[in-house]
Amino acid sequence: MKKLICVLLVVVFALSLVACGDVGKQGKKDFIGIILPTKEESRWLNDQKYFEEYFKGMNYEILFSQNNSATEKTNVETFISKGAKVIVLCAYDAAAAASAVNEASKEGITVISYDRLIMGTDKLDYYVTFDSCSVGKAQADYLVEKAGSEKGINLYMYSGALTDNNSVLFFEGAWKVLQPKIADGTFVVRNCEKAIQFKDKNNLTREEMVSIMQTIDSEWNMERCKSLAEANLTAAGDKGKGKVYVLGPADDDCCRALSDAFLADPKVTELKITGADGVEASVQYIIDGKQSMTVYKDTQALVKATKQIIEALQKGEKPKTDTVYNNDAKDVPTIQADVVTVTADNIAEIFFESGVYDGSKYTGWK
């Protein structure tokens, strides 16, 4: 009798595994390796939190690459040796990551580029991302709207890390909107000779954009932002102070570092500065007017999109995607998520009433 019960239990257990739908040949759930760029930037801690929430019950592990290509490569190799079926990779270096993708692909692993597009490999399978061009556009729209019909406003521009393809997209989105307003004298660029050189050209080539960005590269690093801002203010002198507008490099951490540096200069009397991500540390800054806006990326959307692709693959179905991104080697099937602009005027609705953040922790927003 005991034996029979045991056999029955084993059968029930085996059936329950099959019913899960994500069981590999070895009877174990398919292993998924997730690699995020760093724990030092708040954005990625949000992604980690949501992977842990939405991937509960799945067989996964998260590694961080500490903004280092060698560590990133080792992380991919670790997951290959652990028999991963899928690797979700948010690359520190868009170009360097290509060889790791190729290695994984040789082992039959599906690679999903997460948030940042891995460039120059036709072995990349999928991409999940926010619409980065629209992030840059939203930042620039904000500055242009605030400028109104005024002329001669000091403008400082900063770009994301050049290792990150998103930085080009952010810049492209912003440049298309800002350029006519630089050309007509609404804005006077105070920290970037290259941008002034191109002030009459709206459609820049990638090389032209990169040539501008090289002189204003934040490297996605707060210390670097602080020192860039201080050097830029010193070089600009008094004529570049007073009313100051700043195109931040589409990252709230960088935005706060820049804001602190600009506001530390007593000759800066008014500051409008743009961020992106919508991280918790920026909430009070936005309420206090030390950060004028953020472009909120609900990272749950990316995590859910990633899960959707993986689940389709596990069922042997073709994952549904909504667009393609070209990575210089192929058109990568992509799921793209939308973003929303948050200012002090709608922060209560977007962040507090919807439960993203706890409004009772903050002062001055009612």
Instruction: Give the span between the Cα atoms of 359 and 46, in whole angstroms.
Output: 18
CB of 41 to ligand BGC, least distance (A): 4
CB of 150 to ligand BGC, least distance (A): 30
* Sequence-separated (6 or more) residues with CB below 8 Å from residue 339: 130, 131, 134, 135, 138, 276, 295, 296, 297
Tell me the two tokens of residue 173. 């989105």
Does 137 engage in binding with ligand BGC (CB under 6 A)?
no
Among 110, 166, 221, 321, binds ligand BGC (CB under 6 A): 166
Does 218 engage in binding with ligand BGC (CB under 6 A)?
no
CB of 235 to ligand BGC, least distance (A): 26
Considering beta carbons, is residue 40 or 311 the nearer one to ligand BGC? 40
Considering beta carbons, is residue 65 or 191 the nearer one to ligand BGC? 65
Among 164, 217, 219, 298, binds ligand BGC (CB under 6 A): 164
Residues within window 292-331 making contact with ligand BGC, judged by CB under 6 A = 297
Considering beta carbons, is residue 43 or 272 the nearer one to ligand BGC? 43
Instruction: Give the span between the Cα atoms of 240 and 244, in whole angstroms.
Output: 8
Considering beta carbons, is residue 114 or 198 the nearer one to ligand BGC? 114
Instruction: Give the span between the Cα atoms of 184 and 176, in whole angstroms.
Output: 14
CB of 359 to ligand BGC, least distance (A): 23
87 CB-side CA count, 13 A: 34
CB of 166 to ligand BGC, least distance (A): 4
Considering beta carbons, is residue 113 or 186 the nearer one to ligand BGC? 113
> 331-337 and 340-343: which strand pairing?
unpaired
Total residues binding ligand BGC (CB under 6 A): 11
Tell me, what amino acid is at 256?
R
Does 277 engage in binding with ligand BGC (CB under 6 A)?
yes
CB of 185 to ligand BGC, least distance (A): 32
> 135 and 250 in contact (C-beta within 8 Å)?
yes
> 139 and 171 in contact (C-beta within 8 Å)?
no
Q: How many CB atoms lie within 10 A of CB 113?
A: 28
Place of tokens 């001055």: 364
Considering beta carbons, is residue 31 or 170 the nearer one to ligand BGC? 170
Stretch that binds ligand BGC, among 159-167, 178-186, 257-265, 324-332 (CB under 6 A): 159-167
Does 41 engage in binding with ligand BGC (CB under 6 A)?
yes
Does 256 engage in binding with ligand BGC (CB under 6 A)?
no
Stretch that binds ligand BGC, among 71-79, 145-153, 160-168, 200-208 (CB under 6 A): 160-168
Task: Encode 72-126 in three state secondary structure.
Answer: HHHHHHHHHHCCCCEEEECCCCCCCHHHHHHHHHHCCCEEEEECCCCCCCCCCCE
CB of 83 to ligand BGC, least distance (A): 29
Among 72, 115, 125, 141, binds ligand BGC (CB under 6 A): 115
Tell me which residue of 243, 246, 241 sits closest to 225, measured CA to CA.
246
In the complex, residue closest to ligand BGC by CB: 251
358 CB-side CA count, 13 A: 2
Tell me which residue of 219, 190, 304, 274 sits closest to 41, measured CA to CA.
219
Considering beta carbons, is residue 195 or 302 the nearer one to ligand BGC? 302
Beta strands in 101-223 (DSSP E): 110-114, 126-130, 153-157, 187-189
CB of 182 to ligand BGC, least distance (A): 24
Does 72 engage in binding with ligand BGC (CB under 6 A)?
no
Does 251 engage in binding with ligand BGC (CB under 6 A)?
yes
CB of 160 to ligand BGC, least distance (A): 6
Instruction: Give the span between the Cα atoms of 276 and 210, in whole angstroms.
Output: 20
Q: Which residues bind ligand BGC (CB under 6 A)?
A: 41, 43, 115-116, 160, 164, 166, 220, 251, 277, 297
